[in-house]
Amino acid sequence: MADVLHVQTAPEPRAEHPALVADDLVITYGAGNAAVSGVSLEVGSGEVVALLGANGAGKTSTLLALAGAKDAASGTVRIDGRATTAPLHRRAREGLALLTEDRCIFGHLTVRENLVLGRGKPADALAHFPELSEHMDRQAGLLSGGQQQMLALGRILAGRPRILLADELSLGLAPLVVKRLLAAVRQAADDGLAVLLVEQHVHLALEIADRVYLMRRGRIAYAGTAAELRANPSLIADLYLEQSR
């Protein structure tokens, strides 16, 4: 991100601090080995940053610590440059949203009721996902998996968070639906959202991401641009293969 030495034109104006920074995070469960052992990363406004890695690499733990849903054993989380140890609900008020694998919707309520219970206006959620408008009076639990995730993501985006942490939002969904969801994420980032995206559909994630961190056994094993990985598909395979060695 800082490597713009050869750019001749004036640089884009940048916020003084990245929206979200993790500095040397260590996360443990019980007395065992650390699940995350010294992760540092940053996500700026307007960026989609993919956090990749095999199962058990520590991606979810990292997201939970960034969101304030899990205490870090050590290390610092900064939002807009300010260190925070606030719990999840307070970080949410500061504009940080966490979307977990379990979709976070109320299955027994209608789509409309789910949207009314969100932080934002239902109309704003429909602006992100117009395809939900014909299902407003259906019980959310009866929607397809993809529609449920559109509802969950639309409801979050309608609340206009400044930072979105998304953990496998495409779990179990067909590639076409995943593309639709990721396109909405990209659009929100283009409108200024800072996104940290954990995604198993690596190639789809790389299509919309600006930068990538790859985790291996609790550490950042690779950091680079998505363009670099798109241009070197074998590098992705190598990085994932090394995980299993």
Ligand X SMILES: Nc1ncnc2c1ncn2[C@@H]1O[C@H](COP(=O)(O)OP(=O)(O)O)[C@@H](O)[C@H]1O
Q: Which amino acid is at 20?
A: L
Closer to Mg ion by CB, 194 or 215: give it. Answer: 215
Determine the interface stretch with ligand X among 3-11, 54-62, 122-130, 143-151 (rule: CB under 6 A). Answer: 54-62
Closer to Mg ion by CB, 111 or 166: give it. Answer: 166
CB-based contact 22:77 (threshold 8 Å)? yes
Provide CB contacts within 8 A for 76, sequence distance 6+.
21, 22, 23, 24, 25, 83
Q: Judged by CB under 6 A, does residue 28 bind ligand X?
A: no
The residues that touch Mg ion, with contacts defined as CB under 5 A, are 59-60
What six digits make up the tokens of 237?
A: 């395979």
Q: Judged by CB under 6 A, does residue 197 bind ligand X?
A: no
Shortest separation between residue 165's beta carbon and Mg ion, angstroms: 12
Shortest separation between residue 45's beta carbon and ligand X, angstroms: 25
Closer to Mg ion by CB, 59 or 216: give it. Answer: 59
Euclidean distance between CA atoms 39 and 31, whole angstroms:
19
Euclidean distance between CA atoms 219 and 98, whole angstroms:
21
Among 8, 55, 234, 244, binds ligand X (CB under 6 A): 55
Closer to ligand X by CB, 133 or 200: give it. Answer: 200
Q: Judged by CB under 6 A, does residue 37 bind ligand X?
A: no
From the list Mg ion, ligand X, none, partner contacted by residue 35 (C-beta under 5 to 8 A by kind): ligand X
Among 20, 57, 99, 115, binds ligand X (CB under 6 A): 57
Closer to ligand X by CB, 28 or 45: give it. Answer: 28
Closer to ligand X by CB, 65 or 140: give it. Answer: 65
Q: Judged by CB under 6 A, does residue 159 bind ligand X?
A: no
CB atoms within 10 A of CB 14: 11
Q: Judged by CB under 6 A, does residue 186 bind ligand X?
A: no
Place of tokens 């932080």: 119
**Helix (H) or strand (E) run with residue 52 in it:** strand 48-52
Provide the angle, in degrees to the nearest 10, between the axes of the packed helices 145-158 and 175-190: 10
Shortest separation between residue 35's beta carbon and ligand X, angstroms: 3
Provide CB contacts within 8 A for 50, sequence distance 6+.
197, 198, 199, 202, 205, 206, 209, 211, 212, 213, 226
Q: Which residues bind ligand X (CB under 6 A)?
A: 29, 35, 53, 55-61
